[in-house]
Chains A and B, each alone.
Chain A
Amino acid sequence: MSYVTIDQVTKGYENQVVLNNISITLKKGEFATLLGQSGCGKSTLLRSIAGLEGVDAGRILIDGIDITNLSPRQREVGMVFQSYALFPNMSVFDNIAYGLKMKKVKNIKSRVKKIIEMVDLIGKEESYPHQLSGGQQQRVALARALVMEPKVLLLDEPLSALDAKIRKSLQKELKRIQKELDITTIFVTHDQEEAMTMSDRIFVMNNGQVVQSGSPSEVYTSPVNTFVAKFIGNYNVYDMEVFRKIVRNRELKGTEVAIRPEVLQLVSVGEDSLDLQENWGIKGFIKDVSMTGNVLRYEVETEESAFHVDYLHHRGKMFEQGALVHILVPKKECIIL
């Protein structure tokens, strides 16, 4: 039984289709991520779920109730905006208590206190938003949504305005809180790494459509098309015509082939032990080496094309720029698209 159902939702502005027949279902307590490039319609979808935008066609259900035509305040969803949208005239405490006051619930104080503890803002109750750091403001925005105990929590790129270090720690914390409250969450990001680390399920979006959905490892290891392959995994993607020439094999079918950079192996030319049963061997030279933290990325130029190859950065062994190498391409790791 699905808890959130988005059923063939379509929406356009003037002459542009922004959401094109989107269907998504989520289980209760699931952490789902909408992943896609800027402008692909992620925010619009989120705002449609929140009721801040109407849809042209389709239905949205939460917990069995059709909320498509309800106003935002009737939907029981919480949202954290990219720019937080904290109320500048209110203290942290009043920001968080705002929704409870509007609903006129009892024991506001204790509920706000509890949530302030949870997001680790003790001591900041009387501060105003402009006196807080970006990370703290983000926590207030989160607390303000969570204190209402919404059925679904919507997060629109909540971490993208923060610097890398704070971002990493907030990712962990957000995940911890989400698990602790077991709250169904839809998270929006354009950062594939962030999507991978946080999600139970990823919905990859492109041009207003969901192009692939699945667990992070499913999406990563078996992309359904070139877009996902390039966007998610930094895959090497080749036109099949070109790839047939590269590996000198006319029998291969399909239109394109995608190969993850970390399954490729480099062997210095002259070393003999090439396993050409399981692999294709391609001659080339190291055109460039770059380092992103623990990963070494080689740009290898071959006669017909170029590959990028990722290696974990071990001490010692490293190919120099200009070195002649064989690239070993494992046959079963080539994903035919």
Chain B
Amino acid sequence: MKASLTFHKLMVGLLVIYLLIPLVGTLLFSIAGKWDHTILPESYTMKWYIELFQDERFYDAFRRTLFLIVMSVGLSVVIMLPTIFIITVYFSKWEGFLQAAAMLPYGIPPIVGAVGLIKVYSDGPIQIAGTPWILIGAYFITILPFMYQGIRNSLRTVNAVQLVDAAELLGATKFQAFRTVVFPNIISGILVSTLLSVALLFSEFAFANLLVGGRFETIQIYLADKLNSSGHLTSAIVITYYSMILLLTGTVLKLSFRKEKNPVVSNKNRILSLFKKQYRHKNTALEGEK
């Protein structure tokens, strides 16, 4: 018992180290002055960050990336949530079709997709090739599998169909049922896939480069450009956007736990109780005292 616990801790520890080393390396490099023949840098400096934060291009790129992400993820939630809800609840026959459609993007490499998109949208009725709009469209498709899975699983987990049945029998319309009993229960599940999508799009390069490139410089294109000038600076960029994602994740998680007293308290408790279950054998004494 004891030995296996130590073993587990060791494995988890090793995994964490394995995952963190590149990040720590990047962090060190971004604040390193001179670092040639030693394990740790010989001197430290903040000048790369200062340089980065004084660069207007960085802010612009950041803003553009944010715009793209908010637009595509927002669009995805607004379109996919009702679609998946309606299909799972009322047209379950079509679910397989929707699932297949949502998985298609996995099958198409970005380069092929990009070339096709440029071809289709460079003439004809919708000429948006080279504009951010085509990128938003492509991003919508990129995150489709995540959003689809996330939303569908959330609906399944809370047994949305039955909740709607129950609400309807109690006099709610279908829309009221969705708003009052389905939505509040799936929101935290959807936030997770939203976050995943945001993180994914933050580091998207292929589509951005091929579809709009320098005409609408995103953070990744800016990063690629700076890669040629200084490794220290690129490290600083990477660390900066990692911190941004971390901050974002933290905020959203915190929000999802607090917003309104009721549903979220219960969500929090549910998640906490999951953790508790795993550690029950350890703190039975504590539980007994309650």
Q: Which residues of A contact B (CB under 8 A)?
A: 50-52, 71-73, 75, 77-79, 81, 83, 85-91, 94, 98-99, 102-103, 128, 130-131, 144-145, 148
Contact = CB atoms under 8 A, between A and B. Distances in A.
B263 interface: yes
A71 B176 CA distance: 15
Interface string B170-203: 1111001000110011000000000000000000
Contacts of B162: 81, 83, 85
B266 interface: yes
10 contacts: A52-B165, A73-B172, A81-B162, A88-B185, A89-B262, A90-B181, A90-B263, A102-B172, A130-B273, A148-B171
Contacts of B159: 83, 85
Given A72-B168, A81-B162, A102-B170, A89 B269 contact: no
Contact of A87 (B168, B171, B181): B181
Contacts of B269: 128, 130-131
B165 A85 contact: yes
Main secondary structure of the interface of B (DSSP, over half): helix
Interface residues on B, range: 20 to 34
B166 interface: yes
A199 to B, nearest CB: 23
A51 B176 CA distance: 18
Given A81-B166, A83-B162, A102-B176, A73 B171 contact: yes
Given A73-B170, A89-B263, A99-B171, 9 more contacts: A52-B169, A73-B172, A85-B162, A87-B163, A87-B167, A88-B263, A99-B170, A130-B269, A148-B171
Contacts of A131: 269
Contact of A98 (B167, B262, B263, B273): B167
B290 to A, nearest CB: 13
A320 to B, nearest CB: 48
A72 B263 contact: no
Given A102-B176, A130-B266, A130-B269, A88 B158 contact: yes
B195 to A, nearest CB: 21
Given A83-B159, A99-B171, A130-B266, A89 B166 contact: no
Nearest to B263: A89
B170 A88 contact: no
Contacts of A71: 168
A50 B167 CA distance: 12
